[in-house]
Structure 1
Amino acid sequence: MPDLPLLLAALAVLLPLARCFGWAFTRLGQPAVLGEISCGLVVGIALQTGSGLPGSVETALDAFAQLGLIVFLFGVGARLAPSITPARITAAFVPALGAIVVPVALGALLALLLATRHAPAGVTPFVLFAAAAMAVTAFPVLARILAERRMLDDPDGRCALTAAALTDAAAWAALAFVAASVHNGATVWSMPALIPFLLGLTVLARPWFGRALDRLSAPAAASTMVVLACAGAAVTGAIGLHAAIGAFLIGAAAGRPASRHDAAAVTAPVVSLLVPLYFVLIGRKVDLGDLDAVLVTETLAIIAVAVLAKGGGAYLGARLAGQEPRRAAVFATLMNTRGVTELVFLGVGLGLGVIDSAFYTAMVAMALVTTAMTGPLLNHLERNKVTRDA
């Protein structure tokens, strides 16, 4: 079969299949992303039994998925920007510090023990990446959880959202540093492109940009934002950083000025169509053939350290900030949500070559477990509160 019909057939199968798996998992009370990853695992196993897809079709599917990722991270950056204000940073600084420092420290120690097996680009980039990955909180998933539970305007919800914005901003900054250290010699000629890029970020953060967007129709505003996301991704990709970093930074700058066009809302159709495909492909990259007794042990250790470090660090930070135990426990549970952001982060690390497929598989398992824990733990804390109040 020619490549174009085969590509279209693959899209016709994968897109609705991802939706079906996502819907099934939401019916079980879990995020749709868990279903999409599971879909990728099933598809990967099915393709292993046959001849697989031609390389050109695989490349085209990855291009569609990467476009979805770029637009998605643009929206994440835009949603994150309003949470980083002086007042909110002051209130969330100590809790966020606990949710950053403890996971980074324990994650670095664990990475040093695992580096001999899983550091293809060297120990230093691997340790830096693993430490940053342990500190990630899934900002988009957290925002959705807070919205569903009507906690967005609650002081606890605002604190958690701002703390997640701070931790994710720190993690992405660390990822940019890792990417630059890995590709420090290959793209020296393109580094001057950083200057107009950074100037462009300051321009997009100006109030007039929001007023200019207000004069556009919703389709025109959506097109403008997709163009900006792709342009930012192209610049950082050419420099040697990952394309996702540029899209994220452009979104954070464009999300500053107030506009009637919400970046996440107007780009939602593109994200809704293509991001499930990205997570299906993430699931396909999980190599279950890597599983052996040693990797299973390492995976359990990673999950234990991730939960203890993120939950414990966030709880400690919240308590030091004066929150009572139950509020601190809710904050810790929310901050332990890895979800989509962690999976994207891991995909970038695998693409950069700083982690191997076995470590990637273990970390994906950790992200899925910590995401699945969030809803049941919050329900348990809510039941305890109702029981005490009664």
Structure 2
Amino acid sequence: MPDLALLLVTLAVLLPLARCFGWAFTRIRQPAVLGEITCGLVVGIALQAGSGLPGSVETTLDALAQLGLILFLFGVGARLAPSITAARITAAFVPALGATVVPIVLGALLALWLATRHAPAGVTPFVLFAAAAMAVTAFPVLARILAERRMLDDPRGRCALTAAAITDATAWATLAFVAASVHSGTQVWSLLGVVPFLLGLLVLARPWSGRTLDRLSAPAATVTMVVLACAGAAVTGTIGLHAAIGAFLIGTAIGRPSSRHDPAALIAPIASLLVPLYFVLIGRKVDLGELDTTLVTETLAIIAVAVIAKGGGAYLGARLAGQAPRPAAVFATLMNTRGVTELVFLSIGLGLGVIDSAFYTAMVAMALVTTAMTGPLLNRLERNKVTRDA
């Protein structure tokens, strides 16, 4: 079969299959991304049992998945932007501090123990990356959970969204630093290239950009968003950082909705078409054959530290900010959601060569477990509240 025909057949199979797996998981009140990862695991096992796909088809699939990632992270940045205001940051700063600092510290200590087995690019980049990965909160999944529970306008929901914006901004900044440090030959050029890029972000963030967007029709505005996302990704990819970082930053710069268009909403249909393919490919990268007694022990340790550090740090920060125990527990549960953002973060780290495939597998397991925990824990807290009120 010609490569083009094989590619089209593969897309015709993978896209609906990913949707079906995602739908099945939503029926059991779990995020669709868990189903898409499971789909990737199943497809990976099936392909390993057969002859696999030709290299040209694999390359094209990866390119389409990367485009999905770029548009997805542009949308994440656009959704983050409204939460990054002075008033909201002030109110959420102490809770966010607990949800950021404690996971980073405990994650760094755990990474020092794991570095002897899983640090292909050196101990320092590995420790920095692992510490930042422990601090990640999945902003898109968190926003969806809050919307489903009608908490977006609740003070607890707003605090959680803003705290997630602060922690994720810290994590992505650390990832940008790690990406620059592992490309030792491009560090100087990276630093020089970042300056005009940041200046361009400041220009895009000016109010006139929203007014310019208002003058465009919806199709033209959508094309503009895609062009900006791809351009930002190309710039950061060229200067030695990961391409996805540029798309994310462009999204945060231009993400405040104008009177006619919401950049995140404009980009969502295209991103939602391609991003499941990305998560299917993430599932294919998980190598269950590497699971041995040592890796299982390390995975359990990673999950335990992730839950204790993120949940405990967020709870401590919320209590220090004056929240009562139950709202603080709700905040901690929400902040422990890793979801898609963690998976993207890990995939970038694997692509940079900062972590190995075994650590990647362990961290993916942690992301799936902590995401799956969120719904049941929130339901438990709500039931306890109803019981006490009764």
Q: TM-score range by the shorter chain?
A: over 0.9
Q: Deviations over 1:348-387 (max 9, x none)?
A: 0000000000000000000000000000000000011111
- 1:97 corresponding residue in structure 2: 97
C-alpha distance in structure 2 between counterparts of 1:235 and 1:192, whole Å? 12
Aligned partner of 2:320 in structure 1 is 320
Contact 1:209–1:257, Cα closer than 8 Å, also in 2: no
Paired amino acid for 2:9: A
For 1:70, the aligned partner's letter is I
- Check whether the contact 1:133–1:346 (CA below 8 A) recurs between aligned residues: yes
How much is the aligned-residue C-alpha RMSD, in angstroms? Answer: 1.0
Q: Is the aligned partner of 1:359 residue 2:366?
A: no
1:271 Cα deviation after fit: 1.0
1:259 and 1:200 map into 2 onto residues whose CA distance is 23
Q: Which residue of 2 aligns with 1:185?
A: 185
1:137-184 deviations in whole A, cap 9, x for unaligned?
Answer: 000100111111110110000000000000000000000000010013
Report what 2:213 is aligned to: 213
CA distance in 2, matches of 1:12, 1:258: 36
Task: Work out the CA distance in 2 between the residues paired with 1:159 and 1:190.
Answer: 34
Aligned to 2:88: 88
Q: Which amino acid aligns with 1:375?
A: G
Q: 1:290 — aligned with what?
A: 290
2:375 paired with 1:346: no
Q: Name the counterpart of 2:36.
A: 36
Cα distance, 1:190 vs structure 2: 6.3
Q: Could you tell me whether the CA contact under 8 Å between 1:36 and 1:279 is conserved in 2?
A: yes
Give distance in 2, aligned partners of 1:262 and 1:373: 31
In structure 2, what residue type is equivalent to 1:387? Answer: T
For the residue of structure 1 that corresponds to 2:185, the secondary structure is coil
Partner residue in 2 for 1:275: 275
Give how far 1:258 is off: 3.5
Runs of 4+ with deviation above 2 angstroms: 186-196, 256-260
Give me the whole-angstrom Cα distance separating, in 2, the residues matched to 1:161 and 1:113.
Answer: 32
Secondary structure of 2:102's counterpart equals: helix
Please give the per-residue CA displacement for 1:220-279, whole angstroms capped at 9, x wherever unaligned: 111100100000000000011000100000000011464421112111111111000000
CA contact (8 A) 1:207 1:257 kept: no
Q: Find the aligned partners of 2:89 and 2:78 in 1 and give their Cα distance.
A: 17
The residue that corresponds to 2:108 in the other structure is 108
**Match of 2:357, as an amino acid?**
S
Alignment match, 2:154: 154
Structure 2 gap segments, 5+ residues each: none
Secondary structure (helix, strand or coil) at the match of 2:281 reads helix
2:168 aligns with 168
Q: Answer yes or no: is the 8 Å Cα contact 2:204–2:253 preserved in 1.
A: yes
Residue 189 of structure 1 deviates from its aligned partner by: 4.8
2:4 is the alignment partner of 1:4: yes
On the 8 A contact 2:180/2:187 being kept in 1, the answer is: no
Cα offsets for 1:72-103 (capped at 9, x unmatched): 10011111011011111111000000000100
Q: Is the 8 A contact 2:15 2:277 kept in 1?
A: yes
For residue 334 of structure 1, what is the aligned residue in structure 2?
A: 334
- Residue 234 of structure 1 aligns with an amino acid whose one-letter code is A
2:220 paired with 1:231: no
Task: Report Cα offsets for 1:318-349 as digits up to 9, x if no partner.
Answer: 00000000000000000000000000000000
Q: For 1:16 and 1:294, how far apart are their aligned partners in 2?
A: 37
Residue 135 in 1 paired to residue 135 in 2?
yes
State the alpha-carbon separation in 2 of the partners of residues 102 and 190 from structure 1: 30
**Structure 2: how far apart are the matches of 1:197 and 1:189?**
12
Is 45-54 or 264-273 further displaced after alignment? Answer: 264-273
Aligned-pair identity in percent equals 87
Summarize deviations over 1:7-65 as a string: whole Å, max 9, x none: 11110100000000000000011000000000000000000011100111111000000
Contact 2:111 2:131 in 1 (8 A): yes
Mapped partners of 1:146, 1:187: distance in 2: 40
Structure 1 residues 199 and 31 mapped into 2: Cα distance closer, same or farther (>3 Å)?
A: same
Corresponding residue for residue 371 of structure 2: 371
Aligned mates of 1:29, 1:189 — CA distance in 2: 47
Q: Secondary structure at 1:151's aligned position in 2?
A: coil
- Distance in 2, matches of 1:179 and 1:301, equals 26
d(CA) in 2 for partners of 1:123 and 1:40?
30
TM-score (norm 2): 0.98
Supply the distance in 2 between the matched residues of 1:296 and 1:67 (Cα, whole angstroms).
33
Q: In the aligned structure 2, how far is the partner of 1:260 from the partner of 1:29?
A: 34
Map 1:297-308 → 2, pairs under 5 A? 297-308=297-308
AA of the residue aligned to 1:169: A
Q: Secondary structure at the match of 1:267?
A: helix
- Indicate the SS of the match to 2:184: coil
The answer to whether the 8 A contact 2:180-2:190 is kept is: no
Corresponding position of 1:78: 78
What is the alpha-carbon distance in structure 2 between the residues aligned to residue 60 and residue 198 of structure 1?
Answer: 31
Structure 1 match to 2:196: 196
